[in-house]
């Protein structure tokens, strides 16, 4: 079986469930960033009527603007064309588990956020690892490359440690599991 970067129907269903959990954090007429927005920027495209401006950042997307959404092929936060303290919410949907240095990206997100702004992210829980690997490598029903790229599966304890390392700049305000406990939604607030 050929392994590709393309998502299949089940990958899209799982992403839709994630989006349904985070969409309530999209501020009306706000400015948002979706880090790891994917090749098509689905979350931003679904949100564009509600927001004033959106930025999608990913290695897999071409630089382009569609209406009020600007897509940027860039992962170096120092080169972002986004002003510091100008963003209401930063989203990282299924991104944290792919990062070797999650603290760095969270620090960079905090720089972009206005005081009291939010980082909203989803990430698979540790108990999902065997199931995701079985679905990817044995059943071939979800994207294998995405699962191969997972660096770490985060428990609530791991998230608390990560936020604590951000010093007094951020507060964990929500950690909740969904998808039968296999995935989690985390909300971190930038302290004023």
Q: Would you list the DSSP string of 58-98?
A: -TTS-SEEETTEEEE----GGG-SS-TT-EEEEEEET-GGG
Are 184 and 177 in contact by the 8 Å Cβ rule? The answer is yes
> What are the Cα distances from residue 187, in Å, to 72, 138, 163?
24, 33, 10
Q: Which of 87, 90, 144 lies closest to 120 in space, CA to CA? A: 90
Find out whether 119 and 183 touch, Cβ atoms under 8 Å: no
Looking at residue 109, the DSSP 8-state letter turns out to be H
Q: Is the pLDDT of residue 165 over 90?
A: yes
Structure confidence at residue 52 (pLDDT): 98
Q: pLDDT tens for residues 64-82?
A: 999 999 999 875 555 667 8
Spatial neighbors of 20 by CB under 8 A, at least 6 apart, are none
Kindly report the average pLDDT of the chain as a whole number.
91
CA distance linking residue 124 with residue 102, whole number of Å: 14
To the question of pTM greater than 0.85 for the whole model, the response is yes
Q: pLDDT (tens digit, 9 = 90+) per residue, 12-46? A: 788 788 899 999 999 999 999 999 998 889 999 99
What pLDDT, on a 0 to 100 scale, did the predictor assign at position 3? 46
The pLDDT score that the predictor gives to residue 95 is 94
Quote the distance between the C-alpha of residue 152 and its chain's center.
Answer: 14
Give the C-alpha separation, 170 to 186, whole Å.
13
Determine the topology of domain 9-95+110-190 in CATH.
Rossmann fold (3.40.50)
56, burial (CB in 10 Å: exposed 0-12, middle 13-18, buried 19+): buried
pLDDT at 7: 64
Q: Is residue 58 within 8 Å of 44, Cβ to Cβ?
A: no
Q: What is the DSSP letter of 40?
A: T
């Amino acid at each position: 079986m050929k392994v590709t970067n393309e998502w299949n129907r089940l990958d899209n269903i799982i992403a839709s469930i994630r989006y349904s959990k985070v969409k309530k954090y999209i501020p009306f007429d706000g400015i948002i960033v979706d880090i790891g927005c994917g090749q098509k920027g689905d979350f931003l495209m679904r949100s564009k009527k509600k927001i004033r401006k959106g930025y999608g950042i990913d290695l897999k997307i071409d630089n382009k603007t569609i209406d009020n959404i600007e897509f940027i092929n860039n992962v170096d936060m120092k080169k972002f064309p986004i002003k510091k303290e100008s963003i209401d919410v930063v989203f990282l949907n299924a991104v944290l588990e792919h990062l070797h240095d999650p603290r760095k990206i969270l620090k960079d997100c905090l720089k972009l956020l206005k005081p009291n702004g939010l980082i909203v992210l989803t990430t698979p829980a540790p108990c999902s690892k065997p199931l995701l690997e079985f679905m990817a490598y044995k059943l071939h029903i979800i994207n294998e490359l995405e699962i191969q790229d997972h660096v770490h599966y985060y428990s609530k304890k791991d998230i608390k440690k990560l936020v604590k390392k951000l010093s007094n700049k951020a507060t964990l305000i929500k950690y909740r599991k969904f998808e039968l406990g296999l995935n989690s939604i985390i909300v971190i607030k930038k302290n004023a």
